Structure 1
Amino acid sequence: MHIPPYHKKATWQRFLVGTFIGAVIAYCLFVYMHGTMYGQLLEENRDLKSEVSELKNQNEALLEDNESLDEQSKEPIKVETIEITITNEEDLPDKLIIHDLEELMKEEIEHIIGKDLSIISESDGLLEATIQNKVFKVDDFEFQFTVEKLYLTPTVKISVEANIAD
């Protein structure tokens, strides 16, 4: 059996050279496309890894914050400050005594600062009675107060109406 000598014909030589060059170009194109796709995947993978690590750090920080809040919520809420507001300031004989009256009332009930808010809320009637039954003397005037509003929060807010005592 004899293999015909096609490699000597110019048309077959062009065909074989074209096939070889086409294979080389196709291989180069494949390597380029695969490389760019793989590069994009690596970049996306790095971005996702960094995002996951950020989210893990954020989650850990939030869990620690939640634990500290749980510990704080187990502690009883205490009274921190007292704010007193006189609702009828314009009816008072002298505008300069408003501050003195507020300070006198604060001195009368300052013992509640630092106390547990639940204990104070149970005895809110006693707190109102303490203010209403006391006569406060400033200069030559004596004042009695009626409690209009009483808010028991870490900042105790009391709105009172001043009346000149008889």
Structure 2
Amino acid sequence: MRIPPLYRKPSWQRFFAGAAVGGCISWVIFLYMFGVMQEKNGYLIEEQSNKIKQLQDDIKIWQEDYRELNKKNEEMLTIQKIDIRLVGYEKYQIKDRQSIFNVEEAIREDLKSLLAKDLSTVHKNKDIVKKTIENKIININGKRYKFIVQEMYFYTTINITVELKLAG
């Protein structure tokens, strides 16, 4: 087999020369376009990485500020409500719900001065609060009763569970 003698025909020589020159020109155009595109993408990636770093730094700053504000707010928590629950009145046959309500209101009235106070201050003085409740004697249906504090929970609401005992 032989290669056909196309080197003698100028039309084929022009065709192959044009294909070679066109291939070189298209390769140069491709390299230029690819380079421009890569440069844009590199710039975009660098810009995005800088923005991500800046946003992460901002997040750290906001989180630190948020933690500091939470600590300050925890320090500044105040008592907003006092919740009293009376237990043990069933064994003394006290069925009058009005009397139970009046007893709870009397204890709540004694502790009214704790409202709008700092939570930490009230918690430090929890023994005084307990003694205030336990030293109180109240009359219900002609009998004298005293209180024993079973549970006390402190947060923005003070929850106190008080047991009723016969005094004397």
Smaller-chain TM-score range?
0.5 to 0.7
Name stretches of at least 5 consecutive residues in structure 2 with no aligned partner.
Answer: 1-7
Measure how far apart 1:130 and its partner are: 2.1
**1:83-137: CA deviations, max 9, x gaps?**
2112346553212333221110011222333445555445433322321221223
Counterpart AA for 1:62: Q
Which residue of the partner structure matches residue 136 of structure 1?
A: 138
Q: Is 1:108 aligned to residue 79 of structure 2?
A: no
Structure 1 length-normalised TM: 0.68
Measure how far apart 1:18 and its partner are: 2.6
Which residue of the partner structure matches residue 30 of structure 1?
A: 31
For the residues of structure 1 that align with 2:121 and 2:72, how far apart are their CA atoms?
Answer: 20
Which residue of the partner structure matches residue 59 of structure 2?
A: 58
| Structure 1 pair 116–71 and aligned structure 2 pair: CA distance change class (3 A) | closer
Q: CA RMSD in A?
A: 3.4
Q: Name segments (4+ residues, structure 1) moved above 6 Å.
A: none
Alignment of 1:1-166 (within 5 A): 10=10, 12-72=13-73, 75=75, 78-88=78-88, 90=90, 92-137=94-139, 142-163=144-165
Name stretches of at least 5 consecutive residues in structure 1 with no aligned partner.
Answer: 1-7
Question: CA contact under 8 A between 1:80 and 1:113: conserved in structure 2?
Answer: yes
Measure how far apart 1:26 and its partner are: 0.9
Identity of aligned residues (%): 18
Count of aligned pairs: 158
For the residues of structure 2 that align with 1:63 and 1:118, how far apart are their CA atoms?
Answer: 23
For the residues of structure 1 that align with 2:68 and 2:103, how far apart are their CA atoms?
Answer: 44
For the residues of structure 2 that align with 1:141 and 1:51, how far apart are their CA atoms?
Answer: 74
